[in-house]
Amino acid sequence: MLTPIQLQAVREVVVTGSLRTAAKRLGFTPSAVSQQISSLERTLGVQLFERSPRSVRPTAAGAQLARKAARLLADLEAAEDEMRSFATAHRGRLHLGSFWSAGFRLLPAVLAEFLRDRPQVDVRYEEGDPEVTIPAVVEGRLDLAVVFEYGMVPHTLPKDLDMTLILEEPLYVLVPTSHRLAGRKRIQFGELSAERWISYSEGRDAARNLTHICAAGGFHPDVLFRTNDYNLPFELVRKGLGVAIVPELAMIESHDVHVFKLGNPAHVRRVFAVRRTADPNPLFSHVISRLRTAAEALDRRTDLPTALSGPS
């Protein structure tokens, strides 16, 4: 099989018309260049050069091979440059999944900045909760997933996945502005025991998390309304139909809803970037860094009243 060194030797000898000059340009000795060409001639079974004490002249086969060598070497150089761009994360593939609220609050800015700096990267995005995106990462349908885990509902991930913490977000209780507790700076969570609750579908982590938090407050929630739409709880609370718990990323501006921040450190939602441990994709560190930067840039409220519950 032809080797790049042999192709370089043929090309340089044809271009310069001299073994000595070709050797100098290649950083070899004239003898080494001559040996490469002789070895190639034996392999191909064709003479590539007419040799005389004063000159080296290509045969028709030698001239043709030199022309092809120029194209082949250019292709090899282009391939090498392309592979280096993969290594430096300027090319590659990033198929990314995320749950809705992180996709809404974090991903647009991250993806826009990422594609501006790396326009040749193949970036794809799809929305999905962890029960969908984690198996997709395991199976290779996604390269990276942004997932969540409630402090009261921890997960055990497959052992071949790597998790990187992006954000720990607080949880908030929403009550109508006309609510009897709305003017307070601090409440005990148990004071909400008689309320009608708005929650997510049964079996979802958010619904289980509500049950655990209410249990820590000494009661079981009376859930009248269930939805997987993050915006609907605000509308239902605004209309006085119940109270709800939402994570920070799902918070929307509302002047008709009063907000308490849950005070128990266990009552949080953690956001992670999950990838396969064996996947060497150099794009991961760049996108994870941007996710963390976007999380740090969130406008976080520090002046909210607090809802305190019992021990977790």
CATH for 227: 3.40.190.290
Buried b (16+ CB within 10 A) or exposed e, 189-228: bbebeebebbbbeeebbbbbbbbbbbebbeeebebeeeee
- Adjacent-strand bridge partners of 169: 269
Instruction: Find the domain containing 17 and state its range.
Output: 4-87
> Residues 277, 160: contact at Cβ < 8 Å?
yes
Buried b (16+ CB within 10 A) or exposed e, 82-105: eeeebeebbbbebbbbbbebbbeb
Count of alpha carbons within 13 Å of 246, Cβ hemisphere only? 27
pLDDT classification of 310: cutoffs 50, 70, 90: low
Q: Is 180 exposed, middle or buried (0-12, 13-18, 19+ CB in 10 A)?
A: exposed
Q: Are residues 83 and 96 in the same domain?
A: no
Using the 3D structure, point to which of 87, 104, 129 is the last residue of a domain.
87
Q: Are residues 45 and 108 in the same domain?
A: no
Block residue for tokens 């430096």: 88
> Residues 155, 214: contact at Cβ < 8 Å?
no
pLDDT of residue 301: 76
> Residues 232, 197: contact at Cβ < 8 Å?
no
Cα–Cα distances (Å) from 256 to 172, 177, 236, 265, in that order, read: 15, 6, 11, 27
Closest CA to 309 of 223, 187, 221, 171: 187
The tens digit of pLDDT for each residue in 193-247 reads: 999 999 988 888 999 999 999 999 999 999 999 998 888 999 999 999 999 999 9
pLDDT of residue 295: 94
Using the 3D structure, point to which of 69, 87, 105 is the last residue of a domain.
87
The tens digit of pLDDT for each residue in 55-68 reads: 889 999 999 999 99
In sequence order, the 6+-apart residues with CB closer than 8 A to the CB of 98 are 106, 107, 125, 127, 128, 133, 145, 146, 147
**Cβ atoms within 10 Å, residue 116:** 8
- Residue 242: phi and psi, rounded to 5, are 165, -170
Q: Are residues 159 and 302 in the same domain?
A: yes
Domain count, the chain: 2
The tens digit of pLDDT for each residue in 120-175 reads: 899 999 999 999 999 999 999 999 999 999 999 988 888 899 999 999 999 999 99
Q: Are residues 231 and 176 in the same domain?
A: yes
Query: Measured between alpha carbons, how far is 173 from 189 in angstroms, rounded to an integer?
Result: 9
Q: Are residues 48 and 147 in the same domain?
A: no
- Adjacent-strand bridge partners of 47: none
Using the 3D structure, point to which of 61, 87, 113 is the last residue of a domain.
87
Query: Measured between alpha carbons, how far is 43 from 271 in angstroms, rounded to an integer?
Result: 60
92-98 vs 121-127, strand pairing mode: parallel
Q: Are residues 75 and 112 in the same domain?
A: no
**Average pLDDT over all residues of the chain:** 90
Percent of the chain with pLDDT over 70: 97
pLDDT of residue 85: 65
Rounded mean pLDDT, 16-23: 90
pLDDT of residue 76: 85
pTM: 0.78
Q: Are residues 112 and 237 in the same domain?
A: yes
Q: Are residues 73 and 101 in the same domain?
A: no
The two structure tokens encoding residue 52: 């005389």
Q: Are residues 262 and 248 in the same domain?
A: yes
**268 pLDDT above the threshold of 70:** yes
Task: Return the amino acid letter for 226.
Answer: R
pLDDT of residue 70: 87
* CATH value at residue 22: 1.10.10.10
Percent of the chain with pLDDT over 90: 68
Q: Are residues 39 and 139 in the same domain?
A: no
- Residue 186: phi and psi, rounded to 5, are -150, 135
Cα–Cα distances (Å) from 197 to 14, 209, 233, 303, in that order, read: 84, 13, 10, 25
Query: Measured between alpha carbons, how far is 4 from 17 in angstroms, rounded to an integer?
Result: 19
Q: Are residues 138 and 273 in the same domain?
A: yes
Q: Are residues 10 and 135 in the same domain?
A: no
